[in-house]
Amino acid sequence: MRDNGWDNLLSMVIEFYVGRYILVPNLEDIVVLRGRPKRIDQQLICYRRFYVDLYCYMIDSILQEFKDLFLKTTTELLICILYLSPRDSFAAFEKVKLLHIAQFYHLDFKSEELLLLRPQLNKFLMFVRMDDVFFTLNSVSHADRLGFDIICDLKLIDKPYRKGIGLKM
């Protein structure tokens, strides 16, 4: 978000200002920071003030709060789940990270099942990239709406596992 979210946020703010007939500040203007001793007045370009002093500071504060709230394992699991995103035809799909998710649940997966998971992930990715239904998905929540029926129809889950999760054979 810090690296590539600024432009999107800035365009949304400008759109908000224009829609409400508010004067949009020129980001190249020089701003004098107040609240400092007069002999040390600091002049900044407006862009730096908004981007570095406000935007980056807030992103860093939120990240620090996130780190304080969640254990390392939970954070790692959440990051691995990002690789399940169907956006751009599963462009973020990374088998190593998804296999890492399975390792978090080592009591649920036998070692043989972990070995079989890699080819199943390859099969899954191949089928979902070929199917038009998955092509328009933008988030995991959209994928959730499709349900397990499509996955079952595509035979993405092998028969022994279907019974374990309550799917038809």
Residuewise pLDDT in 10s, the chain (169 residues): 677 788 888 999 999 999 999 999 998 988 877 665 655 557 778 898 889 889 999 999 988 888 888 888 888 888 888 787 777 777 778 888 888 888 888 888 888 888 888 888 888 888 877 877 777 776 666 665 555 445 545 454 455 554 444 444 4
Distance, CA of 50 to CA of 95 (rounded, Å): 38
Contact call for residues 63 and 75 (beta carbons, < 8 A): no
Number of domains in the chain: 2
In this predicted structure, what is the pLDDT of residue 24?
A: 92
pTM of full prediction above 0.75 = no
Q: Are residues 43 and 23 in the same domain?
A: yes
Q: Which two tokens stand for residue 37?
A: 């001793």
Q: Are residues 157 and 85 in the same domain?
A: yes
Q: 38: which DSSP letter?
A: G
Please indicate, yes or no, if residue 169 is contained in any of the structural domains: no
Which among 23, 44, 69 is the end of a domain? 69
Which among 53, 69, 85 is the end of a domain? 69
Which among 34, 69, 104 is the end of a domain? 69
Integer-rounded Cα Rg, in Å, for the chain is 24
Contact call for residues 55 and 1 (beta carbons, < 8 A): no
Please indicate, yes or no, if residue 103 is contained in any of the structural domains: yes
